[in-house]
């Protein structure tokens, strides 16, 4: 099961207690926020895309939406999400539990600037009943982020 894999990953850093196995569903931003007792914006959505048949992960704030024009300017391809039925094949997680941890080797991960306004965020932990409580800097480190991007609507990179 994906949650156990993610928890084991965090335990290698002495951070297994950051992983939360939830009783209630966290399959959507709204459900995750409700289950965690936090605002929807703090749910770190893991968005999975395909570029030339290879997966690309972008983690965005729960209230952010991908801007197709910004995405294309950044990645030089039209945004094409991985179909739900193919998520596990490409990134090892099922819809509702897609997270930026324990991905296939070489899968690029980026964080969107919409997350920069928060100290603590909650990405999924591999299932639709899980989360990881992390500081944004920890998210960047443990997701092995390649850096910050600005690909969501109505967000501006800090100068």
Mean pLDDT over 108-136 rounds to 97
Work out the end-to-end distance of the chain between its first and last CA atoms, rounded to an integer number of angstroms.
42
156 pLDDT higher than 90: no
pLDDT category at 147 given cuts 50, 70, 90 is: very high
Domain positions in the chain are 2-149
5 pLDDT higher than 90: yes
Question: How far, in Å, CA of 12 to CA of 153, rounded?
Answer: 36
Q: For residue 134, list its beta bridge partners.
A: 121
Q: What is the pLDDT of residue 33?
A: 97
From 39-43, 57-61, 83-87, 99-103, the region with the lowest mean pLDDT: 83-87
95 pLDDT higher than 50: yes
Mean pLDDT over 129-139 rounds to 97
From 1-5, 34-38, 51-55, 81-85, the region with the lowest mean pLDDT: 1-5
DSSP per residue, 16-63: GGGEEE-SS--SSHHHHHHHHTS-GGGEEEEEEEEETTEEEEEEE-TT
Question: How far, in Å, CA of 115 to CA of 103, rounded?
Answer: 21
Q: What is the pLDDT of residue 159?
A: 39
pLDDT category at 106 given cuts 50, 70, 90 is: very high
Question: How far, in Å, CA of 121 to CA of 132, rounded?
Answer: 8
Mean of pLDDT over the chain: 94
158 pLDDT higher than 70: no
We find that the CATH architecture of domain 2-149 is Alpha-Beta Complex (3.90)
Q: What is the pLDDT of residue 13?
A: 97
Q: What is the pLDDT of residue 70?
A: 96
Q: What is the pLDDT of residue 1?
A: 61
């Amino acid at each position: 099961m994906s949650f156990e894999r993610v928890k084991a990953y965090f335990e290698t850093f002495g951070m297994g207690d950051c992983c939360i196995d939830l009783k209630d569903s966290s399959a959507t931003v709204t459900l995750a926020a409700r289950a965690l007792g936090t605002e929807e914006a703090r749910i770190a959505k893991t968005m999975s895309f395909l570029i030339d048949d290879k997966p690309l992960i972008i983690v965005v704030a729960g209230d952010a939406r991908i801007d197709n024009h910004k995405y294309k300017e950044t990645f030089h391809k039209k945004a094409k999400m991985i179909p739900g039925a193919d998520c596990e094949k490409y990134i090892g997680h099922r819809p509702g539990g897609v997270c930026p941890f324990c991905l296939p080797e070489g899968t690029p991960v980026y964080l969107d600037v919409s997350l920069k306004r928060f100290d603590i965020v909650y990405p999924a932990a591999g299932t639709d009943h899980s989360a990881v409580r992390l500081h944004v800097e920890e998210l960047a480190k443990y997701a092995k982020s390649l850096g910050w991007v600005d690909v969501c609507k109505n967000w501006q990179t800090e100068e």
